[in-house]
Structure 1
Amino acid sequence: ISMIGLTLGVAVLITVLSVMNGFDRELKTRILGMVPQATVVSTEIIGDWEQLADKIKEDPEVSAVAPFIQLQGMLTSNGQVAGIMVTGVEPEYEKNVSIINDHMVEGSIDTLQSGDFSIVLGEEMVQSLGLQIGDKVTLVLPEASPSPAGVIPRFKRFTLTGIFTISPEVDSLMAFIPMGDAAKLLRLPEGAQGVRMKLNDIFTAPIASQKAAAIAPEQLYPNDWTQTHGNLFGAIQMEKAMVGLLLFLIILVAAFN
């Protein structure tokens, strides 16, 4: 009975640890590979974002940085409509902080060049809108523009030049366009809205974002994945608690046997 009890306990521990390790790897390599781990966002457009990025990279916890402009809107094509979170990026910098370039199904993120009004979408979104590479898709912004015909929403047609696949949640919610085109769409001067960071340890995100914001405290506001994706943070915390509880129970069973 003692041997059977110990065998079952160790088997359960190995199984649960394998599941937890897979879950942890999925979170860190996929979802947190796309979601900004830490960011600083400015109240105004940062014209000299390269200088800010160089200062942020002085922190040893920061492995890479990239500028961005973020906007929300709706995509319409073939009579279908879907909400989307659009990020204006610089491809050469984005490849250093995101895993998107490693998960492209068709096309490349390098096709996002300012002035081309190109867009890269997730596979889930492409299928729901019935699109293919080279098709046109219309991005509608919630901001309205006055015209002689009345107030009409602002919209712009983009060409689909790339398709990525990460996970269903990410694929259906995120899109990427050139940062210069995002600025034109929002009628902003050239520059970045903020800078995102890739960290050596994702759990140092709150401290890293606050350090970066301290460079210009009156202008920059910190943010990190523990705030924007608190459910992921809670899931990782619960995972650690469960492993500790399992170890305690197995030791308890071994002692009892």
Structure 2
Amino acid sequence: MFDWTGKNVVYVGSFSGIGWQMMMQLMQQDIKMMGIMHRMENVEMMKKLQAINPSVKVVFMQMNLMDKKCIDQAMKKMGQMMGHFDVMINAENVLLDKDVETTMGMNLTGMIHATMMAMPYMDKTQMGLGGMVVNLASVYGLEPSPAFAVYAGAMHGVLGFTRSMGDKMIYQKTGVMFMAMCPGLTTGEMMMNLRDNVTWHHSESMVEAMESAKRQMPEEAATQMIKAMEMMKNGSMWIVNMGQLKEVMPTMHWQM
């Protein structure tokens, strides 16, 4: 069971959705520092977060996931402030298939850059003490999504990166474990404009099915994700859907 006491947590994501609900819940733990990294600060939400636990130092660092130089500078500043990172949660999630660059950049490329630039502050052979990286993906990283093919491509990439970084050899050397969370349909901003964000205009029936399907609340998904994190299973992937948590056991199709 993971012990949250005295931990430095870095959150890369927006002030809404599952990721933000995870931050709200983690503030109830006895952590040391909470670092929020995003393009724009939401002062009211930061105050709300701090009010949950005044003993935790909450800081904000502006960072644009579409700008590699900005990511590098922001991560170095956060590293100097915290000294080391114990937990990193990559929770930025954008559904905008008609803008391929943004969809891939925010969901995948930016996440990879941020993770690799954070590693020196987690890697026990450098400035870190070991730790945990949690990447929020989607069930569409496990299965095809004809209506949102670009988004699905990015999510498949997130899982491929997470599984690769979660190799036992990397963990043995760095002390950093990797996990991926794959939530099902969840109430939130991403579900509001589905018809405007499809890959193709042939997706009406698929979007209708998604709009009418039952959805989970971000709060319940966040609770299940924290449970999965506390299991500390390196390289694992978890489906989080309707209050249920299920580990994904991938099939090996090829091996050297």
- TM score, norm. by length of structure 2: 0.24
Higher relative contact order (CA 8 A, sep 6+): 1
Larger radius of gyration: 1
- TM score, norm. by length of structure 1: 0.24
